Homo-oligomer: A and B are copies of this chain.
Amino acid sequence: MKRIASRDNPLFKELRKLSSTSQARKHAGLSVLEGLHLCQTYLAVIGAPRHAVFDAQRLDRPDDCHPELLALHDHVPADRQVWLEGKLMQDLETVQAGQGVVFVVDTPAPSLPDRITESCVWLDRIQDPGNVGSILRSCAAAGVRHAFLSEETAFAWSPKVLRSGQGAHFSLTIHEQVDLEALMARLDVPLVATTLDDAQSLYGPALPPKAAWVFGHEGQGVRPALQQAAQVRVHIPQEAAAESLNVAAAAAVCLFEQRRQRLSAQ
């Protein structure tokens, strides 16, 4: 276990750089997880992080310390622990009321599968980190294990997407910067696009039990090339006067309608 008291410490400088710039994280192939829930989930699902950074001020006074922080610390191997003294922890935490723990972990970089044979989601230029995180969370909850994110989709391992994903990242395989149009050649399941044009009702003919769902840009929707290539085009029947649904809400409705049909077929 290392204790660091100085801002000039080389490891602290490295940690600070990682927590403050996405370039540094991408360059190093590392991600930063903040807060109890994300770190607990990582430890339970994946295992020990590269560095588990704790606020020494809290751990040094176990009687005042949040019991979940103490328990988390107990489960991390000592050689991965970094304790920061004084106010150093606050330099690392990006949220105002930090919880005294930050993990530095390897960002997964899975290689593309030769063939896509399972249900998955494709995110086509979804900009808002909250939407991307919410969709990943809905995938994990619905039992969809693979996500393919186009260029211009929010970076999945950014702090905002991680926060909104609430740990879903660790039970999914997430591919980023994917050329979705080229990916179509690898599909062994139907591509299903949500669209308003020339589409069947989500509640019409039965959905394919396995599918690649493509959800699109908040304003422009799914790009035309993918809409046209889709084997199934569905729309969610809505009130005439209403705007279309938020994309993360629409994704949840679609993935859980497929799940409902799957459960009722069992």
Q: Point out residues on A near B: beta carbons under 8 Å.
A: 41, 45, 130, 133-134, 137-138, 140-143, 164, 166-168, 171, 203, 236-239, 241-246, 248-253, 256-257, 259-260, 263-264
Chain A contact residues, majority secondary structure = helix
Partner of A130, one of B130, B142, B243: B130
Q: Are A141 and B259 in contact (CB under 8 A)?
A: no
Expressed in whole angstroms, the Cα–Cα distance for A140 and B203 within the complex equals 19
Partner of A249, one of B137, B243, B263: B137
Partner of A252, one of B141, B143, B168, B253: B253
Expressed in whole angstroms, the Cα–Cα distance for A171 and B243 within the complex equals 10
State the oligomeric state as a number of copies: 2
Partner of A246, one of B164, B239, B250, B260: B164
> CB-CB < 8 A to A133: which residues of B?
246
8 smallest CB-CB distances across A and B, nearest first, come from A249-B252, A141-B238, A140-B242, A141-B242, A143-B239, A134-B246, A253-B256, A166-B243
Q: Are A137 and B245 in contact (CB under 8 A)?
A: yes
Expressed in whole angstroms, the Cα–Cα distance for A54 and B19 within the complex equals 41
A to B CB contacts below 8 Å, 24 in the list: A45-B241, A130-B130, A133-B246, A137-B249, A138-B249, A140-B241, A141-B238, A141-B242, A141-B245, A142-B238, A142-B239, A143-B239, A143-B242, A167-B243, A168-B242, A168-B243, A171-B241, A203-B264, A237-B259, A245-B252, A249-B249, A250-B252, A252-B252, A252-B253
Partner of A239, one of B141, B166, B245, B249: B141
Expressed in whole angstroms, the Cα–Cα distance for A48 and B159 within the complex equals 41
Q: Are B203 and A263 in contact (CB under 8 A)?
A: yes
Expressed in whole angstroms, the Cα–Cα distance for A263 and B235 within the complex equals 14
> CB-CB < 8 A to A264: which residues of B?
203
> CB-CB < 8 A to A244: which residues of B?
141
Expressed in whole angstroms, the Cα–Cα distance for A253 and B253 within the complex equals 5
Expressed in whole angstroms, the Cα–Cα distance for A166 and B244 within the complex equals 9
The smallest C-beta distance from A192 to any residue of chain B, in angstroms, reads 17
Expressed in whole angstroms, the Cα–Cα distance for A110 and B90 within the complex equals 44
